[in-house]
């Protein structure tokens, strides 16, 4: 059986997908009986340098040529407006669609999936989460017998690469980001990576696949790594924690927590050992227990591998997989977590007592305290040397914690802004 595959957008992933199809279509045919033929590859600019050669006869600058001549349209342009129009147009024409566009799907996927269902075509989006890791397929098919309870992910290759380089090689944030861009890991707009949005898009999609509901994207709690101070990374390390940008989808009865933020996890935990551009996703189901998936989360070849798995899936099975759960799930923004707090304070009697007093007034219990004599500022507001005071708390509610930190920051002994990092321990 022959399938004509057209690609729109020949950037990092489009080029990789073209190269994969050109190189491995014979192997794919042997394995599946399906012959995948590239109809056309569209891009606005054929002059820019590419990692792989795209034969002249496949190139076009007109996306309509792809639409007209393909059974499956692969959208790899990214961004929202044009990509959405293209996908909807392809669906209207009865074409199946494969996309890596987590930004579009997380924010406007409901409409796209619904339209595809009405038209009886499929949307493959394996490549939108976890690069080469077949996580969508794993949750939908491998874990289909389970009620999915929790999903924890290191879902952004760029930020994981940056955090690893900062921690292990003392590299500056800017240099590490620059390298991630050169390696083709970063989004066209890298603030999507750095500020946590890319991870948030991905965890929304995993929550959709795992829990059977599209949650409004605005309800995801999102914080990135832009303001991370190396001091906290080092203090956390002393306490036995590794800092990761963790994406969490946790179900507790009919409530779901959806959040992305820098998180301390115990350094002996397998997730803490996921470094560089690698991604990992820990999925917990009621029967299977905990399972972990690991692989390259970005880059042209791994992502192409996921794109092609969707193409083959559509060509061999053609089933539509839009699951809408009947459960009434809603997002709980007032989550319950352990916290790492750092306050910069003078090293003198009564300071800790004042801070502890505020925490107690919000019913927040201290688990441990670490204060180094290492001075981080020679003279504070009152002329005394300033040291970092770290407090680890037992579990507390997010809202109480935000209020407590606000009050503590107003104490005259506290210099500047406090640092608050969530700690996740129990899930692994």
Catalytic residues: 202
Q: Which of 186, 258, 272, 390 binds ligand HSE (CB under 6 A)?
A: 186
Using the contact rule CB under 6 A, the part of the chain among 36-44, 46-54, 186-194, 403-411 near ligand HSE is 186-194
Q: How many residues bind ligand HSE (CB under 6 A)?
A: 11
Which residues, in sequence order, are CB contacts of 407 under 8 Å at separation 6+? Answer: 358, 361
Quote the crossing angle between the two packed helices 300-316 and 12-32, to the nearest 10°.
40
Query: By C-alpha distance, which of 302, 131, 102 is closest to 208?
Result: 102
Residue placing its CB nearer to ligand HSE in the complex, 177 or 358: 177
Q: Which of 75, 107, 187, 232 binds ligand HSE (CB under 6 A)?
A: 187
> Among positive and negative, which fits the CA dihedral 224, 248, 290, 156?
negative
Q: Which of 156, 164, 204, 419 binds ligand HSE (CB under 6 A)?
A: 156
Q: Which of 131, 224, 295, 380 binds ligand HSE (CB under 6 A)?
A: 131
Q: Rounded to the nearest whole angstrom, what is the least distance from the CB of residue 228 to ligand HSE in the complex? A: 16
Distance CA 200, CA 392 (A): 26
Q: Which of 71, 107, 126, 198 binds ligand HSE (CB under 6 A)?
A: 198
Q: Which of 71, 126, 193, 284 binds ligand HSE (CB under 6 A)?
A: 193
Q: Which of 113, 152, 185, 335 binds ligand HSE (CB under 6 A)?
A: 185
Distance CA 253, CA 329 (A): 8
Q: Rounded to the nearest whole angstrom, what is the least distance from the CB of residue 147 to ligand HSE in the complex? A: 28
Q: Rounded to the nearest whole angstrom, what is the least distance from the CB of residue 64 to ligand HSE in the complex? A: 27
Neighbours of 173 (CB within 10 A): 16
**Structure-derived torsion over alpha carbons of residues 125, 128, 133, 136, reported in degrees to the nearest 10:** -40
285 binds ligand HSE (CB under 6 A): no
Using the contact rule CB under 6 A, the part of the chain among 138-146, 183-191, 330-338, 417-425 near ligand HSE is 183-191
Q: Rounded to the nearest whole angstrom, what is the least distance from the CB of residue 383 to ligand HSE in the complex? A: 45
Distance CA 278, CA 285 (A): 23
Neighbours of 318 (CB within 10 A): 11
Residue placing its CB nearer to ligand HSE in the complex, 280 or 359: 280
Residue placing its CB nearer to ligand HSE in the complex, 186 or 389: 186
Do residues 66 and 8 make contact, with C-beta atoms less than 8 angstroms apart? Answer: yes
**DSSP classification of residue 16:** H
Q: Rounded to the nearest whole angstrom, what is the least distance from the CB of residue 297 to ligand HSE in the complex? A: 5
Q: Which residues pair with 6 in a beta bridge?
A: 73
Distance CA 112, CA 123 (A): 8
Radius of gyration of the chain (CA): 24
Q: Rounded to the nearest whole angstrom, what is the least distance from the CB of residue 202 to ligand HSE in the complex? A: 7
Please count the CA atoms within 13 angstroms of the CA of 51 that sit on its side-chain side.
18
Distance CA 126, CA 135 (A): 7
Using the contact rule CB under 6 A, the part of the chain among 48-56, 155-163, 316-324, 400-408 near ligand HSE is 155-163
Using the contact rule CB under 6 A, the part of the chain among 169-177, 179-187, 219-227, 307-315 near ligand HSE is 179-187
Which residues, in sequence order, are CB contacts of 142 under 8 Å at separation 6+? Answer: none
Q: Which of 158, 204, 263, 337 binds ligand HSE (CB under 6 A)?
A: 158
Residue placing its CB nearer to ligand HSE in the complex, 134 or 297: 297
Q: At 198, which helix (H) or strand (E)? A: helix 197-211
Residue placing its CB nearer to ligand HSE in the complex, 293 or 362: 293
339 binds ligand HSE (CB under 6 A): no
Do residues 295 and 153 make contact, with C-beta atoms less than 8 angstroms apart? Answer: no
Distance CA 18, CA 300 (A): 10
Q: Rounded to the nearest whole angstrom, what is the least distance from the CB of residue 158 to ligand HSE in the complex? A: 3
Residue placing its CB nearer to ligand HSE in the complex, 154 or 272: 154
177 binds ligand HSE (CB under 6 A): no
298 binds ligand HSE (CB under 6 A): yes
Distance CA 271, CA 263 (A): 11
157 binds ligand HSE (CB under 6 A): yes
Binding site for ligand HSE (CB under 6 A): 131, 156-158, 185-187, 193, 198, 297-298
């Amino acid at each position: 059986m022959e399938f004509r595959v057209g690609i729109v957008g020949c950037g990092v992933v489009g080029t990789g997908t073209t190269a994969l199809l050109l190189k491995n279509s014979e192997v794919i045919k042997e394995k599946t009986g399906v012959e995948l033929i590239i109809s056309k590859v569209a891009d606005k600019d054929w002059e820019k340098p590419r990692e792989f050669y795209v034969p002249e006869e496949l190139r076009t600058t007109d996306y309509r040529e792809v639409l007209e001549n393909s059974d499956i349209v692969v959208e790899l342009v990214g961004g929202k407006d044009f990509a959405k129009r293209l996908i909807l147009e392809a669906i209207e024409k009865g074409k199946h669609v494969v996309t890596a566009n987590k930004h579009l799907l997380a924010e406007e996927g409901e409409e796209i999936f619904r339209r595809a269902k009405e038209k009886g075509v499929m949307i493959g989006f394996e490549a939108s989460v976890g690069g080469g890791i077949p996580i969508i397929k794993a949750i939908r098919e491998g874990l289909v017998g389970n009620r999915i309870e929790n999903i924890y992910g290191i879902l952004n290759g760029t930020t994981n690469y940056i955090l690893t380089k900062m921690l292990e090689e003392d590299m500056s944030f800017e240099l590490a980001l620059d390298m991630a861009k050169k390696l083709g890991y970063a989004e066209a707009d890298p603030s999507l990576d750095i500020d946590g949005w890319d991870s948030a898009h991905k965890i929304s999609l995993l929550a959709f696949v795992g829990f059977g509901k599209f949650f409004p994207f605005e309800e995801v709690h999102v914080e990135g790594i832009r303001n991370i101070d190396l001091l906290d990374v080092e203090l956390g390390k002393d306490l036995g924690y590794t800092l990761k940008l963790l994406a969490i989808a946790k179900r507790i009865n009919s409530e779901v927590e959806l959040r992305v933020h820098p998180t301390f996890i115990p350094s002996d935990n397998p997730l803490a050992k996921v470094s560089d551009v690698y991604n990992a996703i820990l999925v917990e189901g009621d029967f299977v227990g905990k399972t972990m998936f690991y692989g390259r989360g970005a880059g042209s070849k791994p992502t192409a591998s996921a794109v092609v798995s969707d193409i083959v899936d559509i060509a061999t099975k053609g089933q539509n997989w839009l699951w809408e759960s009947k459960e009434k799930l809603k997002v709980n923004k007032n989550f319950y977590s352990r916290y790492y707090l750092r306050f910069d304070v003078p090293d003198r009697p009564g300071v800790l007592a004042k801070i502890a007093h505020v925490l107690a007034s919000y019913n927040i219990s201290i688990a441990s305290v670490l204060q180094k004599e290492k001075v981080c500022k020679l003279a504070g507001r009152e002329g005394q040397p300033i040291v970092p005071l770290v407090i680890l708390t037992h579990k507390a509610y997010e809202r109480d914690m935000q209020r407590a930190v606000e009050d503590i920051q107003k104490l005259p002994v506290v210099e500047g802004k406090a640092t608050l990092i969530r700690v996740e321990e129990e899930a692994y």
